[in-house]
Amino acid sequence: MLDKNTINQALYDKYIAPTKKERSHSIGIEVEMPVVNLDGQAVEESVSLQVADTFRNHFGFQVQGQDADGNCNSMSDPVSLDNLSFDCSYSNLELSLGKETNLLKIRETFLTYYRFLQQEFGKFGYSLTGMGINPHYNINHNKPVPNERYRMLYRYLHSYRDHAEGRELKFHDRPDFGTFTSASQVQLDVDYDRLIEELNVFGLLEPYKALLFANSYLPEYPDYLCARNMLWERSMQGYNPHNVGMFGTPLHSIEELLAYIRTQSVYCTMRDGKYIHFTPIPVGEYFSRPYVAGEYFDGQNYQSIRFSPEASDLDYLRTFKFEDLTFRGTIEYRSSCCQPIRDVMTVAALHVGLSKQVPNLKELMEADEVIYGNGYNADELQHLLSKRELPGFLDRKAVSAQLKRILDIAFDGLRLRGLGEEILLDPLYTRAERLSNPARDMVEGLERGVSLEHFIRDYAEVI
C-alpha cells in the first residue's frame, strides 16, 4: 500500500514535472488507417504482414515488436523514429511520425510511406483509406493482434456484460470496436504555466471540432456522424467516465488537475511479463488496497490472480481523454477521426496553429454565444454536434461564421511560424462554409445512390 503523499508525488512526477523541462517543441502525429480488401472480403492478416515486411525492408526500419507468432507488428526508423504498427488488429495500420517541427515536411514523409504502402497493398487488391470506421467492419475478422497487450484489451472490453447492471449510461454491443476504429492524433508540448489554460480552452473547442472532423459513420448508430468517440465512452474504457471524453467542468489549478487524475481508474498492469486486467479501480483507492484480484492469460487459458499494487503500476494508468496529458510533457489531442488522405494534416494543422494563439482562442471561446449559453455545457454540446441533425437552437450561418473565426486564428498562428503551413487549413474552410465534414458527405452521397466503394477509393486519394 502507498500513502497519499507518495501517490501525489508519483502523479506529479509523471504528469506535471515534464511540463517544466526544456523540450524541442516538435510535433507528434499518429494516423491510423483502415486496411480494406477491395474485393469485399475480409482482410487476411497474412497480407497485412507481408506488406509490412516489404515496407520494413524497403525503408530500413527495425523490428520493435512481435506478436505471439513471431510476426513483426511494430517497426521504427532508427534515426527519425518514424514508426509503422498495427493498432489493435491487422486491418488497422498506424503511421507515427518522429520528431519534426515542419508540418509540410511531415506531410511529405507521410505521403512517401503511404504511396509505397498503397502500391504494395494494391498488388493484393487491397487499399488503405482515410476513414474513422473501417468500411468493412462487419466483414473483417476483427480479431486482436495476438500479443499480450491487445489480447488483454480485447478480453477486458468483452467483460462489459459483467458490469452492465445498474449503469445509467448503457454499454454498446460492439466491444470489438478497437479493431475497426481509426484516429488522427497529435501531441504538442505544453508548458507548466499554460497547462490548465490550454486544457480548458481546447475543451471548449471540442464541439466545433466534431463539426469539422466527423468521419466515423456506423450504420448501427445512424444518428452519429462521429460514432468513434461514443464507442470509446460507452465501453469498458468508459466504465469510469473520468478516463474518457472531456473534463466536464473547467480546471482551476494544477492541484485540481492532480485531484482529477487520482479519480481516474487503473484497469491493467503486468507481472512476470503477463498482462493482468481487473475491474477498474480509481488511482487513490487502488494504491491503498493490500491486494487486487484480476486475471491473466497463461498461454492457453485465463487464470485468476491476486497481487499487491506496486508504485510502477502507475505506468499502466492509460486514459483516453480528448485532451490527454502524457508523461512526455505533451497534450495528446485524441478526439478526431482519421481524415481523407488528401486532408491528412488538417487535424495537426488546426491544433498547431491554435496552440500558437491560445490567448486569442480563449477570448473567442469564452465569449462564444453561438453554441454556448443555451443550457448545454461543452461535453453535452460535443455529443450533440457529433450527430447528423444539428440542434434546432443553433443558427447555421452563425455556426459557420464562428468556425471561420476559429480557422482564422489557426491560420494566423501557422503564418507566424513562417513555414507556409497555413495552406493545410484550406479544406477546413470549405467544410466550415458548407457546414459539412467527410462523414456527412459520405452519408448524403450513399443516400443519393453513390456506392460505398466510391468513397473508399475517394478517401484514399492523395489529391
Look at residues 316, 353, 348 and name the one whose alpha carbon lies nearest to residue 333: 348
Provide the grid cell at 430.
470549405
| CA distances (Å), origin 380, targets 13, 32, 261, 375, 392 | 32, 27, 21, 9, 15
DSSP H/E element including 279: strand 274-282
Look at residues 242, 315, 364 and name the one whose alpha carbon lies nearest to residue 251: 242
Q: Among positive and negative, which fits the CA dihedral 311, 315, 316, 317?
A: positive
Q: Percent of the chain at pLDDT above 90?
A: 94
* Distance in angstroms (rounded) separating the CA atoms of residues 354 and 209: 12
- 226: β partners: 216
Evaluate if residue 2 carries a pLDDT over 80: no
DSSP per-residue codes, 258-275:
HHHHHTSEEEEEEETTEE
pLDDT digits (tens, 9 = 90+) for 134-175: 999 999 999 999 999 999 999 999 999 999 888 888 999 999
* Distance in angstroms (rounded) separating the CA atoms of residues 74 and 329: 24
Q: What is the pLDDT of residue 279?
A: 97
* Distance in angstroms (rounded) separating the CA atoms of residues 62 and 415: 37
* Distance in angstroms (rounded) separating the CA atoms of residues 393 and 376: 11
* Distance in angstroms (rounded) separating the CA atoms of residues 438 and 131: 8
Q: Percent of the chain at pLDDT above 70?
A: 100
* Distance in angstroms (rounded) separating the CA atoms of residues 94 and 103: 18
* Distance in angstroms (rounded) separating the CA atoms of residues 298 and 384: 44
Do residues 243 and 251 make contact, with C-beta atoms less than 8 angstroms apart? no
pLDDT band of residue 111 (cuts 50, 70, 90) is very high
Three-class secondary structure of residue 435 per DSSP: coil
pLDDT digits (tens, 9 = 90+) for 18-42: 999 988 888 999 999 999 999 999 9
Evaluate if residue 98 carries a pLDDT over 90: no
pLDDT digits (tens, 9 = 90+) for 356-390: 999 999 999 999 999 999 999 999 999 999 999 99
pLDDT digits (tens, 9 = 90+) for 332-356: 999 999 999 999 999 999 999 999 9
Domains in the chain with CATH codes: 23-136+181-249+319-458 (3.30.590.20), 265-316 (no CATH)
Q: Which residues contact 198 (CB under 8 A, 6 or more apart)?
A: 190, 323, 331, 355, 358
Do residues 368 and 214 make contact, with C-beta atoms less than 8 angstroms apart? no
Provide the grid cell at 6.
507518495
- The length of the chain, given as a count of residues: 463
pLDDT digits (tens, 9 = 90+) for 285-311: 999 999 999 999 999 999 999 999 999
Q: Which residues contact 185 (CB under 8 A, 6 or more apart)?
A: 29, 30, 31, 332, 333, 334, 336, 347
Q: Calculate the average pLDDT of the chain.
A: 96
Do residues 142 and 49 make contact, with C-beta atoms less than 8 angstroms apart? no
pLDDT digits (tens, 9 = 90+) for 199-215: 999 999 999 999 999 99
Provide the grid cell at 197.
489554460
- Give helix 103-122 / helix 45-59 axis angle, nearest 10°: 130
